[in-house]
Structure 1
Amino acid sequence: MNNLDLDNTHLGPNRYYDRHFDHDAVKILPGEYFATRDDTMIVTVLGSCVSVCLRDAQLKIGGMNHFLLPNDTSCCGDSVGDSGRYGGYAMEVLINELLKLGARRSGLEAKIFGGGNVLRGITAINVGERNSEFVLEYLKTERIPILAADLLENYPRKVYFFPATGKVFVRKIKSMHNSTIMDRESEYSMRIRNSRLVGEVELFGD
């Protein structure tokens, strides 16, 4: 698996035990992804970023990513080419990891979340809307069916994904007591703006 410069896309290493769900869990941050054959819950918190939960329902192999398209296309050349190429890369690294675990590309199903308009003061470009439009178009092009979607609106979300069953719980965060989510996404956005893709992802077939 190839990586982005600055290691912007990598497996989520943050394992913990979630007492509320009585479940082993992995928390992923912006730029991370995680795939598993085990009954491990995957958790993330989304503002303008988007997460795609992908799963082979028959084989019970699933994973989640957490990504953001570059929001300043003036520094990165063509807005469709560069932003789309980054988003495509973020999707392909997750798909590739699932296929390595034995999932079938033809058996993948998706649930998608995020794309909230939570970055105050940004009116010219709705980053969350661009992220949402990208992932909808990507999954349509790749013929991956979307079973559920919770996108846009004006609030962050906390997403809990159970790959073994395909269940997803979403908690909408209506009031923000700190700027942690926005700070993480802003830092992540700066990293991907200042980096470049290295190579391509080679996908396994069915």
Structure 2
Amino acid sequence: MIMDGNATFIHVGQLHVDRTPAKISTVLGSCVAVCLYDTKNCIGGMNHYLLPFWNGNGLQSPKFGNISIPKLIESMIERGADTKTMQAKIFGGAALNINATNNMLIGEKNIMVAREILKEYKIAIVAEDVGKQQGRKIQFDLEQGKVYLKYTTYSCG
């Protein structure tokens, strides 16, 4: 796997949309990143969210999946993408605390919200690497429409 240091790096609560030949990267633990790519218009984007749902308190923030995913889709549409030609790849959602109870499995809930929202928008998930007990470093190469993945011990949450 070749990771390019010139990629735009996004942190928790951020998203980035660009055109080819850009690259976008991030590091994930229990967080999830949704990578969207419009195969016709060559526009791609990635988000990085920490928690599945905004509970209505405080500001709506893209650190929540139910805010971040629609915002990523809307940002892509604003740049000229079309949901009819978008494909999704999802990564992350690691179970980093093996002693957690079912109520505390944030990674699983983060994965679930991504799948549900993408289904609502009728965007097919064409690849995923989710769950497990490992962190991930990913780089989305928009020129090739590919996501490169490396397992890591680092986690964001």
TM-score, scaled to structure 1? 0.66
Please name the residue that 1:149 is paired with.
128
Please name the residue that 2:79 is paired with.
101
Structure 1 vs Structure 2: percent identity of aligned residues? Answer: 37
Residue 45 of structure 2: SS of its match in structure 1? strand
Q: Which amino acid aligns with 1:126?
A: L
How far did residue 23 of structure 1 move? 6.2
CA–CA separation in structure 2 for the residues paired with 1:44 and 1:119: 21
Q: Does structure 2 retain, via aligned residues, the 8 Å contact 1:45–1:156? A: yes
CA–CA separation in structure 2 for the residues paired with 1:146 and 1:87: 16
Residue 89 of structure 1: SS of its match in structure 2? helix
> How many pairs are equivalent?
149
Quote the RMSD (CA, aligned, Å).
2.3
Q: Does structure 2 retain, via aligned residues, the 8 Å contact 1:23–1:41? A: no
Name which of 23, 26, 40 aligns with 1:58. Answer: 40
Q: Deviations over 1:23-80 (max 9, x none)?
A: 6310111101100013111110000010000010111100100012268x9xx47xxx
Question: Structure 2: which 5+ runs fail to align?
Answer: none
Q: Which amino acid aligns with 1:39?
A: P
* 1:90 aligned onto 2:73: no
Name which of 140, 143, 148 aligns with 1:164. Answer: 143
CA–CA separation in structure 1 for the residues paired with 2:134 and 2:43: 30
TM-score, scaled to structure 2? 0.84
**Considering only CA atoms, is the larger Rg found in Structure 1 or Structure 2?**
1
Greater fraction of residues in strand: 2
Please name the residue that 2:23 is paired with.
41
- Given the superposition, is the C-alpha separation of residues 140 and 70 from structure 1 closer, same or farther in structure 2, using an over 3 Å criterion? closer
